[in-house]
């Protein structure tokens, strides 16, 4: 095992890692209001429909949300990049933003 706890060769690669896209880190920024809950459900539906591997994290503390420069929630962050903020896109649009 390597230092990340995963089996594999250099840089944590496994023999089949060349065939699969890396796991996405998706962050849902929001304080838990009804709009944010709808947005979270849409994100989860989009990830499932797209069949991608993703780690979904909910970020609810205002101080943590502000670190992304987001002033209006809900917001979607994929692999560290803000993809949308201040609105609730549907699952189809979210699939495109994640892709």
Per-residue confidence (pLDDT) for residue 62, from 0 to 100: 95
**The tokens of 87 are what?**
């609105």
d(CA 86, CA 21): 29
Does the model's pTM come out above 0.85? no
Per-residue confidence (pLDDT) for residue 52, from 0 to 100: 87
Per-residue confidence (pLDDT) for residue 14, from 0 to 100: 46
Closest residue by Cα to residue 50 from 17, 13, 19, 23: 23
**The tokens of 46 are what?**
């989009």
d(CA 80, CA 61): 17
Domain boundaries, the chain: 22-98
Domain 22-98: which topology? Glutaredoxin (3.40.30)
At 11, is the secondary structure helix, strand, or coil?
A: helix
In the chain (99 residues long), the average pLDDT of successive 10-residue segments reads: 40 48 90 93 94 93 96 96 95 90
Per-residue confidence (pLDDT) for residue 20, from 0 to 100: 63
Beta strands in the chain (DSSP E): 24-29, 54-59, 75-78, 81-85
Per-residue confidence (pLDDT) for residue 99, from 0 to 100: 80
């Amino acid at each position: 095992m390597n230092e990340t706890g995963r089996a594999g060769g250099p840089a944590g690669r496994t023999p089949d890692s060349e065939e699969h896209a890396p796991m996405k880190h998706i962050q849902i920024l929001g304080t838990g209001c009804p709009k944010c809950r709808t947005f979270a459900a849409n994100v989860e539906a989009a990830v499932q429909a797209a069949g991608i591997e993703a780690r979904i994290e909910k970020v609810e503390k205002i101080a943590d949300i502000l670190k992304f420069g987001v002033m209006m929630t809900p917001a979607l962050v994929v692999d560290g990049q803000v993809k949308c903020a201040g609105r609730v896109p549907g699952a189809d649009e979210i699939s495109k933003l994640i892709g």
